[in-house]
Amino acid sequence: MNARASMGATDTVRNHETPEGIRLELKLAGPVVRACAWAIDMLIRGVMYALIAGVFSYFGGIGTAVILISFFLIEWFYPVIFEVLSGATPGKKAMGLVVIHDNGTPISFVSSVIRNLLRAADFLPLLYAVGLLSMLLSRDFQRLGDLAAGTLVVYREQAQERGKLPEAPSKPPPRELDVDELRELIMFAERSPKLTQERQVELASQLRSVTQKEGAAGVKEIFSYANWLTRGR
């Protein structure tokens, strides 16, 4: 498998390196959120079954044939169609999930068919017991269908709105901080519009030893550092 765990990480983030030398972060989805997605899909499929059965039962033999064939197609190919077209079934989309190959590329028709045919085995003996066991035993939460198709179910990344840095006079930060710590300062400044005044003060007061200031003045001080770091003097 290509998506290897980063060294010693116990969380559910997997990294994959692309041919361009870029590391992609893939956040794996666990059994519970996938079960919810499946339940939503079942509901949608139930409505589809009911609609098709309701409409075509008035059309005699041909109608029954249409019902049976649609039931067959929905049972086996409902997930395939959605996964190939948009990467996720409506249920998965609602839960913010997407199915991809273990190398980060979008799922292909072949892989989608494999993982969805093998549902028949994952479902055994009832309600995906085998699939759940497989997910718990495998490193990347893969049910048997995922293992055979080489696919992962991951969280769809949501684009983050970038807040504007709060205005403050530029001021160089103390010299003894290393780059990662400087980065934390920028991150705090960018997150600040989402935090309450009290919380900003609370967080800034932990850096009292750096800023040498108390309360709101400390917050202001960090904004100044962030401005210096991103914009210069």
> Applying CB under 8 A, which residues contact other proteins?
1, 18, 20-22, 24-25, 60-62, 64-69, 71-72, 75-76, 85-86, 100, 104-106, 108, 110, 113-114, 117-121, 124, 130, 144-145, 147-150, 157, 159-160, 162-163, 179-180, 182-183, 186-187, 190, 229-232
Cα gap 25→16, rounded to integer Å: 7
Q: How far is the CB of 59 from other proteins (least distance, A)?
A: 10
* Spatial contact of 15 and 4, defined as CB atoms under 8 Å apart: yes
CB of 232 to other proteins, least distance (A): 5
Are 146 and 101 in contact by the 8 Å Cβ rule? The answer is no
The 3-class secondary structure across 121-154, one letter per residue, is HHCCCCCCHHHHHHHHHCCCCCCHHHHHHCEEEE
Q: Which is nearer to other proteins, 36 or 121 (CB)?
A: 121
Least spacing, CB of residue 153 vs other proteins, in Å: 15
Residue where the block lists tokens 């103390």: 174
Token pair for 82: 């959605």
Closer to other proteins by Cβ: residue 113 or 207: 113
Identify which of residues 86 and 197 has a Cβ nearer to other proteins in the complex.
86
- Gap between the Cα atoms of 85 and 32, Å rounded: 25
Q: How far is the CB of 228 from other proteins (least distance, A)?
A: 9
